[in-house]
């Protein structure tokens, strides 16, 4: 635990399958919070701009094949290499709105058949989000959206497995949202829960598990 002398920013994560609308909502939320005068920053995983991130990018674009366990550890390392900077920003009072986090790490690898506990272990000790919005699609709606992408995981049968794996990962920080609704409706719900979270956690210590 890190104790605070001044109020900190909130650590807000959006999770879900590909095409669940995360990136749209993350941008809307950041813009809205800025409008309201909050100190806020958008973050995205994988962070493709680092050296590790560029290996991940090549893997996702099918330029390179990487062993399933090795790529799992690289995704985790990509989160670890960002931790000190993220922690500093949070302690400086900046709210981070993060597109994907360790839940994606576990869901996508476990969907390949890797052991769930093994998948979780390299992420142990990462900062714990204050709230995780899970963008939940019905399988019907998911089906309509799948099959359009061209990156490695953007394929219907695989996404269905990822969806099922996410369901095992729910914890008390999760807020499961009906992501089939109109963009603006969803945005309003995310906004109001985020504002509550920012207020609630501003004087609480940051958690690392």
CA distances from 152 to 59, 75, 120, 135 (A): 8, 14, 22, 21
Binder of ligand DGP out of 8, 15, 29, 75 (CB under 6 A): 75
Decide if residue 123 touches Na ion (CB under 5 A).
no
CA distances from 22 to 3, 64, 102, 162 (A): 31, 26, 15, 15
Tokens of 110: 């476990």
Q: What angle do CA 208, 107, 151 make, to 5 degrees?
A: 120
d(CA 187, CA 171): 22
Q: Which does 100 bind (CB under 5 to 8 A by kind): Na ion, ligand DGP, none?
A: ligand DGP
Q: Which does 108 bind (CB under 5 to 8 A by kind): ligand DGP, Na ion, none?
A: ligand DGP
Q: Which does 105 bind (CB under 5 to 8 A by kind): ligand DGP, Na ion, none?
A: ligand DGP
Q: How far is the CB of 73 from ligand DGP (least distance, A)?
A: 10
| x/- map, 8-37, Na ion, by CB under 5 A | ----------x---xx--------------
Binder of ligand DGP out of 8, 89, 100, 187 (CB under 6 A): 100
Stretch that binds ligand DGP, among 100-108, 127-135, 177-185, 195-203 (CB under 6 A): 100-108
Binder of ligand DGP out of 104, 136, 165, 194 (CB under 6 A): 104
Q: Which does 176 bind (CB under 5 to 8 A by kind): ligand DGP, Na ion, none?
A: none
Decide if residue 130 touches Na ion (CB under 5 A).
no
Tokens of 209: 């598990």
Alpha helices in the chain (DSSP H): 22-35, 51-60, 68-91, 102-110, 116-120, 139-145, 156-169, 183-201
CA distances from 123 to 49, 81, 167 (A): 20, 12, 18
Give contact residues for Na ion (rule: CB under 5 A): 18, 22-23
């Amino acid at each position: 635990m890190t104790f605070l002398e001044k109020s900190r920013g909130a650590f807000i994560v959006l999770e879900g399958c590909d095409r669940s609308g995360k990136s749209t909502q993350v941008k809307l939320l950041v813009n809205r919070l800025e409008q309201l005068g909050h100190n806020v920053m958008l973050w995205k995983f994988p962070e493709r701009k680092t050296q590790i991130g560029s290996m991940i990018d090549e893997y996702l674009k099918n330029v390179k094949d990487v062993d399933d366990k090795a790529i799992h550890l690289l995704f985790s390392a990509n989160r670890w290499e960002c931790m000190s900077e993220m922690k500093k920003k949070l302690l400086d009072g900046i709210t981070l709105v993060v597109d994907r986090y360790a839940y994606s790490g576990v869901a996508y690898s476990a969907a390949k058949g890797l052991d769930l506990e093994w998948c979780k272990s390299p992420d142990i000790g990462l900062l714990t989000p204050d709230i995780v919005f899970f963008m939940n699609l019905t399988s019907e709606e998911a089906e309509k959206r799948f099959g359009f992408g061209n990156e490695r995981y953007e394929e219907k049968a695989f996404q269905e497995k990822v969806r099922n794996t996410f369901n095992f990962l729910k914890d008390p920080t999760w807020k499961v949202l009906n992501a089939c609704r109109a963009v603006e409706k969803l945005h309003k719900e995310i906004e109001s829960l985020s504002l509550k979270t920012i207020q609630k956690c501003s004087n609480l210590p940051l958690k690392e598990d």
